[in-house]
Amino acid sequence: MVKLKTRTKKKQNTRREKDKRDFLSELSDDVLLHIMHFMDTTTAVQTSFLSKRWNKVWKCLTTLSFRRSDFKTLESYDQFVYHVVSKRDTSIRLHRLDLEACTVTQELLNHITPLLHYVSHLSIYLDYSIPVIFSSPSLTSLTLSCTPGILKLPPSLELPALRTLNLANVALTAKDGDECAEPFSSCFLLNSLVLLGCSLSNPAKVLSISNPNLSHFTTIRYSEVKYEILLHTPNLTHIRSSDVRHSHKVCVIFTTKPQSITWYET
């Protein structure tokens, strides 16, 4: 009877020890990193308080998303962004970056700029120009937005790998005072283009889009200033055009007529 009780106690103690074990810490770094990719960046970085090992893992994240709404003040937001980009493992290439760069100090910009050279997917809100965004050999997807009337794009975007481009409230410019702007002519792989509230900077009056792979195009305007859009897009299959102010219909001219196209106009 005594022996039976002793065995029962040993089993109970063993179960308690198992319950107390930290099974997460027994997982490999690769598995922990995979788990972190299901978290938002703020939560992932907060795991550093669990142990020194977790502090090492988050620095290897290949996706970073910074949302201003997660922080009470702009100062605390900037401090968090600075902490993450200055501490992450720079030997690991960043795959995706989502950033609201409202006000960025030069010190923070010095840390952010190298990340932009090799990132594949970038979503950024800013009120000033960061030239490296418009010249990248690796960028395949770009979503760029800003306060209306502040940001002008260069005459040509040197983004040879770009497939998806979403622009909001930016001004498109032409080369050397030309009246025809062709900012996407070097984006040879461009497949999807969205222009939301974009305008032409004087003296440009025509936006020329000449991209053989473009299949989806959306243009939504808020400005009363009218300009023509010249399309040389033989593989275009879907186009959506809209004028929010209803002051005029969007003028789209095809230089090469697509074989089959679905047109939505509101």
**What is the pLDDT, as a whole number, of residue 244?**
59
Number of C-beta neighbours around residue 126 at 10 A? 19
Pick from 254, 248, 155, 246: nearest CA to 204: 155
Instruction: Compute, in degrees rounded to 10, the torsion defined by CA atoms 163, 196, 171, 164.
Output: 0
Is the pLDDT at 232 greater than 70? The verdict is yes
More confident residue, 89 or 255: 89
**What is the pLDDT, as a whole number, of residue 245?**
56
Distance of CA 224 to the CA centre of its chain: 29
Q: Given the DSSP bridges, would you call strands 199-200 and 180-181 parallel, antiparallel or unpaired?
A: unpaired
Mean pLDDT of 111-131: 84
Is the pLDDT at 103 greater than 90? The verdict is no
**What is the pLDDT, as a whole number, of residue 131?**
74
Tokens at 151, concatenated: 């940001």
**What is the pLDDT, as a whole number, of residue 123?**
95
**What is the pLDDT, as a whole number, of residue 165?**
98
Which range is most confident: 6-10, 46-50, 162-166, 238-242? 162-166
Spatial CB neighbours of 123, under 8 Å, sequence gap ≥ 6: 97, 98, 99, 142, 143
Question: Residue 14 and residue 111: Cα distance in Å, rounded?
Answer: 50
Length of the chain: 266
**What is the pLDDT, as a whole number, of residue 14?**
53
Secondary structure of residue 185 in the 3-state scheme: coil
Number of C-beta neighbours around residue 236 at 10 A? 26
Is the pLDDT at 80 greater than 80? The verdict is yes
**What is the pLDDT, as a whole number, of residue 257?**
64
Band (pLDDT 50/70/90 cuts) for residue 15 is: low
Is the pLDDT at 127 greater than 80? The verdict is no
Question: Residue 265 and residue 198: Cα distance in Å, rounded?
Answer: 17
Band (pLDDT 50/70/90 cuts) for residue 242 is: confident
* C-alpha radius of gyration, the chain, whole number: 26
Measured between alpha carbons, how far is residue 140 from residues 17, 60, 77, 96, 165 in Å?
A: 50, 21, 27, 10, 8
- Are 171 and 145 in contact by the 8 Å Cβ rule? The answer is no
**What is the pLDDT, as a whole number, of residue 159?**
94
Q: What DSSP string runs through 140-184?
A: -EEEEE-STTT-B--SS-B-TT--EEEEESPEE--GGG-SEE-TT
Q: What is the pLDDT of residues 161-217, one digit of tens each?
A: 999 999 999 999 998 878 899 999 999 999 999 999 998 887 888 999 999 999 999
Q: What average pLDDT is seen over the chain?
A: 82
Q: What is the pLDDT of residues 28-78, one digit of tens each?
A: 878 888 888 888 898 888 887 777 777 788 899 999 999 888 888 888 888
Which amino acid belongs to residue 2?
A: V
